[in-house]
Amino acid sequence: MNEFLTLMKSELVLTGIIFLLLFIKIGKGIKNESLLPLIQVLLLANFIFGFFLNQPGRLFGDMFYTTPVIAFQKNILNLGVYLISLVCADWLRKTPHLPEFFLLMLSALLGMFFMISSANLLIFYLSLELATIPVAAMANFDLEKKRSSEGAMKMILSSAFSSGVLLFGISLIYGTTGTISLPLLGERLDGSALQILAFIFFFSAFAFKLSVVPFHLWTADVYEGSPIAVTSFLSVISKGAVAFIFMTMLFRVFEPLHATWHLMLVILSIATMVVGNIFALRQQNIKRFLAFSSIAQVGFILVALTGQDYRYHMNSTAVIYFVLIYIFSNLAAFGVAAVVSEKTGRENIDDFRGFYKNNPFLSWVLALALFSLAGIPPTAGFFGKLFLITTGASDANYWYIIVVALNLIVSLYYYLRLVRAVFMDKNESAAEAVPVNAPVRLGLILCGAGILLTGVLSWIFDYIHSL
Amino acid sequence: MNLLLLIGAPLLTALAVLAARNKAQIKGISLAGSLVQLGLALALLFAYRQEKAAGQTAQLLFEQQYPLFRSLNISLHFGVDGIAVAMILLTSFVVVAGVLVSWNVEKMTKEFYFLLLLLGLGAYGFFISLDLFILFFFLEISVIPKYLLIGIWGSGKKEYSANKLALMLMGGSALILVGMLGLYFYAGNSFDITTLAAASISREMQLILFPLLFVGFGVFTALFPLHTWVPDGHSSAPTAGSMFLAGISMKLGGYGCLRIATYLLPEGAKEYSTIIIILSSIAILYGAFATMMQKDLKYINAYSSVSHVGFSLLGIGMLTQAAITGALMQMVSHGVMTALFFAVIGMIYDRTHTRMVAEMGGLMKKLPFISTVFFLVGLCSLGLPGLSGFVAEMTVFVGSWENPGTFHRIATIAAAMSIVVTAVYILRAAGKTLMGPVTNEEHLSLRDATWNEKLAAILLLAGILAIGLAPGWLNELLQPAAQEIMNRIAGK
């Protein structure tokens, strides 16, 4: 019993919050103004609580397992949701269905927690669905906007398709190995043709969730249609969670098929980076812009997975570290976009021209975020990206690393485009001073501090590595 | 001496600038901070000389090491040799002068000084780092300040130039990154320069990694044909920005080419020296001839920088001790000289609001101080004995001539010929703008340099004279370091 409580503590607390919201909803209801701070405090409490009582262990007949690393991954995701609840506070406060929104978002988060902890394909599939379906409902949350419904529809259809492919892959895997338990599975893989086919199906489902090219086509439309709170959840939290479990699957379970997936990763990571970068060059809408840039970022994450010394956990450390930094950077960028879009209704890059004049605080946060995404020091993005490339380069595949490094230049170009609009372009009708509320300000300051400090405080990396 | 001070002082200054309340405070803090940096650099010079005089034979002095990313074996490893001391001294001179000439920046003063100080910080950190990762960090840290300084405070087609500069330098960084990672994994997971120097790197590997590192750093120091960001970047930047770019940032590249690429990969350097010599000879001649065609004072100095920096690369390519010493001297000399040149051009531009040679004339009558400095720095640029340019270029030529063989001789002669071209464009520009009657009536009411401008000019002139009249001290600093690099090339 005791073990049950400690090993599943994050999930239990989260479930508690979900039930609390449910009771509030069916009860008298609380005004958004007081409910939102309550949720924020609870999420923060869960985040802090997540650092204690972490030990490895297994539950439910080896269906669920946890280790300190997994607990840390869950904490990162929880932190991300907390930051979203801060930076998107303006929009959240106005939404008429706040309890429902958080019900859905936290259910999705719960699904991700179970997904990261799953040690069995059955629970993996269930939790993946739990992490996906609520998000599709969330994407539809701008109820009066047609684009929002369109995005939600695209998302649910493409998710259903990818789930089908995943299930087919799982059934083939079960057929060839006779087990769905992940530890056993790893031992029974021998690289037969059918297993490789099964793995390719399995892999493409992940590629779908991670928006790896050529499975990325749903991303931009869904991102553009959804409210910014949902877009940031999709681009940061979902991506992070899937990257974590993907990494575990590759390194722990499908390790015998290393030769197969290594080549696939090399090719797909280049395709993802190049396509994401090239499409990001021409975007006008800031959400679409960040959508394509997030595709390119996923390409960089894949680079780390191609590295050779995964046995030493360096790759997974680099990925976890990068996701942490990515949460800070991307949420800062989305946060600024959310504030501006909420106050002025503008979402285009051109609307940011001359923005610095009246909004120095928001401009600097945005600039920090963009430089971090581009990987320029002293921001943490520099360290994150460099370590991804470093672990990827352990393979001594120099042409590949040169291509990756050249992609850094392209991505710098389009991030600079936005910086240039904010700081340099002159604009007669520049945006007025946008008021920034206390929770939003706190969220942006936390993100900014994260961007500046996560890299320079080198023990964070070493701490993740030591887990 | 604790080298952390060299990073701490600029960092504290920059943070204090952020906390300042008004423009007077911002300027006061920046000037005080940059003077402290100058003091520290001079103290470092004296401490270094004292240690050497006391019989210290180690190549690197004042070493410090603090582990940073333990799991990746990255540490803050600091230490200086003679080259670094000279470069730090150069940086501190340019920083003080840059702060002084920016006295009248009215637009976003706080951000301007903050970014300027950050740019200086990057250079200090770069020169004292002995860990490639940290060195790369400090190299890249200057991207944001450079981009914003040019894009916000620049003139002309500034957005284009800022973009071009940022992207080309990022391209250089990308190559450096790959070369750096190659070294890291080849030498057993270490970025430490001392460890890497001790590791035996196979010839095949050196032949792969050397071009990556050399070209990567070469972009920063205007290696032909990757020099195209130089004219645009320098001419669009605000005065202090140009001074920092040409005076300091370009030297980071030269330092990297020599201290990282050539030092760590001597076999590669030997193999590719022919190509380096050809490219740098082209840069020298092309830069000189291109300058002759320019009508804008800033473009004149920017193209002549391409030509002058070519001498450094030529010296590196020649691979003799004298030539390498000369290359290093040229870096220091050119840094001071070009910073002063840009400062003077900025002063003239502030008054006349034009940089076109054709629109000026007879400035000597109205601006005697500025014109005199202009003339002196021009003479330094064309290599008049007694000024720093002569010493540096002469050493490069002497060192180059030590190489037997027709190819090296031809390259040396070709490079030496460029001095004639230099004399043509410098004297022509100086003659047209400074001599004769005042052609533009608006220029009759101009006022000569203010105290801050005079101070900046005198400081940098002192540097030029200190090298030109008594080059011994600089030679003492650079010679042993050049010797060390030659030892590695000779395989000792």
pLDDT for the residue numbered A433:
80
Q: Cβ B72–A387 below 8 Å, yes or no?
A: yes
Pick A405's closest partner by Cβ from B72, B138, B178: B178
Residue B275: which pLDDT band, with cuts at 50, 70 and 90? very high
pLDDT for the residue numbered A125:
92
Q: Cβ B152–A424 below 8 Å, yes or no?
A: yes
Reported as a single tens digit per residue, the pLDDT across B41-96 is 999 998 888 888 888 777 888 888 888 888 888 888 998 888 999 999 999 999 99
Tell me how far apart the terminal alpha carbons of chain A are, to the nearest angstrom.
25
Q: ipTM, 2 decimals?
A: 0.91
A396 at B interface, C-beta within 8 A? yes
Average pLDDT over residues B258-275: 89
pLDDT for the residue numbered A429:
72
- Give the number of other CB atoms < 10 A from CB of residue A24: 18
| Mean pLDDT of the residues in chain A | 87
Is the pLDDT confidence value at A311 over 70?
no
For every residue of A184-223, DSSP letters joined together read HHHHH----HHHHHHHHHHHHHHHHHHT-TTS-HHHHHHH
Q: Cβ A376–B143 below 8 Å, yes or no?
A: yes
Could you tell me the two tokens for B66? 């603090």
Is the pLDDT confidence value at B370 over 90?
no
pLDDT for the residue numbered A310:
54
B interface test, pick of A388, A398, A453, A466 with most B CB neighbours within 10 Å: A398
Q: Cβ B140–A390 below 8 Å, yes or no?
A: no
A147 at B interface, C-beta within 8 A? no
Pick B71's closest partner by Cβ from A317, A386, A389: A317
Is the pLDDT confidence value at A360 over 90?
no
Q: Cβ B159–A394 below 8 Å, yes or no?
A: no
Q: Cβ B163–A420 below 8 Å, yes or no?
A: yes
For every residue of B129-171, DSSP letters joined together read B-BHHHHHHHHHTTHHHHHHHHHHH--SSHHHHHHHHHHHHHH
> What count of CB pairs under 8 Å joins A to B?
90
Reported as a single tens digit per residue, the pLDDT across A421-433 is 888 887 777 777 8
Average pLDDT over residues B193-220: 88
Average pLDDT over residues A440-451: 91
Pick A423's closest partner by Cβ from B141, B151, B171: B151
Is the pLDDT confidence value at B349 over 70?
yes
Average pLDDT over residues A250-254: 84
Nearest chain B residue to A312, by CA: B71
Q: Cβ A420–B143 below 8 Å, yes or no?
A: no
* Helix H or strand E segment including B68: strand B61-69
Q: B171 to chain A: which residues are within 8 Å by CB?
A: 406, 409
Pick A412's closest partner by Cβ from B167, B175, B181: B167
Residue A451: which pLDDT band, with cuts at 50, 70 and 90? very high
Q: Report the C-alpha gap between B181 and B159 in whole angstroms.
A: 32
Could you tell me the two tokens for B478? 């650079």
Q: Residue ranges per domain, chain A?
A: 2-466
pLDDT for the residue numbered A249:
87
Average pLDDT over residues A66-86: 91
DSSP state, A435?
A: P
Average pLDDT over residues A73-82: 92
pLDDT for the residue numbered B215:
93
Reported as a single tens digit per residue, the pLDDT across A191-220 is 888 888 988 998 898 898 888 888 888 888
Is residue B314 a contact partner of residue B400, using CB atoms and an 8 Å limit? yes
Q: Cβ B71–A382 below 8 Å, yes or no?
A: no
Phi, psi (5° rounding) for residue A95?
Answer: -65, 135
Q: Report the C-alpha gap between A298 and A376 in whole angstroms.
A: 18
What percent of chain B lies above the pLDDT cut of 70? 100
Q: Cβ A390–B184 below 8 Å, yes or no?
A: yes
Q: List, in order, residues 6 or more apart from A457 with CB less than 8 Å away.
A: none
Is residue A35 a contact partner of residue A134, using CB atoms and an 8 Å limit? no
Residue B152: which pLDDT band, with cuts at 50, 70 and 90? confident
Amino acid identity for residue B384 in this structure: L
B343 vs A57, more confident: B343
| Mean pLDDT of the residues in chain B | 88
Average pLDDT over residues A26-53: 84
pLDDT for the residue numbered A309:
63
A311 vs A333, more confident: A333
pLDDT for the residue numbered A449:
92
Could you tell me the two tokens for B8? 């701490």
Which residues does B contribute to its contact with A (CB < 8 Å)? 68-72, 74, 133, 137-138, 140-141, 143-144, 147-148, 151-152, 158-159, 162-163, 166-167, 170-171, 173-175, 177-178, 181-182, 184-185, 208
A394-403, B352-361, B435-444: which range is least confident on average? B435-444
Q: Report the C-alpha gap between B462 and B460 in whole angstroms.
A: 5
Is the pLDDT confidence value at A351 over 80?
yes
Q: How far is CA A64 from CA A8, A205, A289, in A?
A: 9, 21, 38
Amino acid identity for residue B165 in this structure: L
* Helix H or strand E segment including B492: none
Reported as a single tens digit per residue, the pLDDT across A104-140 is 999 999 999 999 999 889 999 999 999 988 998 888 8
Q: Report the C-alpha gap between B243 and B249 in whole angstroms.
A: 9
pLDDT for the residue numbered A171:
92
Measured in angstroms, the CA of A442 and the nearest CA of chain B are apart by: 20
